[in-house]
Structure formats: structure tokens, C-alpha cells
Amino acid sequence: MTFVNRDRYAAAVDDPPRDPPYDRRIPDLVGLQEAAEIMGVSKQAALKMVRKSQLKGRRLGRSTTWVFLRSEVNSMPKHQKTAE
């Protein structure tokens, strides 16, 4: 039978998550909607940028879900939405 040091366990559980995450190998990713909002364009325009190789992104598996590196999206020029 194994005994657990309950004080140590309680301290580990009570620690709030830190920002940014400890593991720096996990990249900061954003989805298509958030990427489009950051750049100030529509989702369709963001996908068009991917097709034209202006924005690097990856599809998750065979799904229609796209992910982008936040640093890549932030390096793109911001577009101003025009008032209609």
C-alpha cells in the first residue's frame, strides 16, 4: 500500500495555472475565427490568404478546422474594415 503526502498533493492542486504554460514546446495557436478577427478580415478572406500562401496554417486531420500560430497571425498586416 502506498501513502501520499497529502500536504504536498494539496499544494499541487491549489496552485493556480500559470500564464504562459510551462511547456514552451506547445505553440500558441488560434483558430480561423480568432485569426480573422485579429487581422480585421472575414473568415473567407483569411482562408483566401491561406490558399494564396500569404498566411501559413494547418488543418487538423481531415476536418475543416484550421489553426494558425498566433505569432504568424500577429505579423500579418492589419486590415481596416470599411463602414458600409
User: 10-41, pLDDT tens digit by residue?
Assistant: 444 455 555 555 566 778 899 999 999 999 99
Looking up cell 463602414, which residue turns up?
83
Separation between Cα atoms, residue 66 and residue 61, nearest integer Å: 10
Taking residues 55-73, report their average pLDDT.
91
Looking up cell 473567407, which residue turns up?
44
Taking the CA atoms of residue 59, residue 60, residue 63 and residue 66 in that order, the dihedral angle to the nearest 10 degrees is: -50
Q: What is the DSSP letter of 10?
A: H
Average model confidence (pLDDT) for the chain? 77
User: How many distinct helices (H) and strands (E) make up the chain?
Assistant: 4, 3
Q: Does residue 43 have a pLDDT over 80?
A: yes
Q: Give the pLDDT band of residue 83 (cuts 50, 70, 90).
A: very low
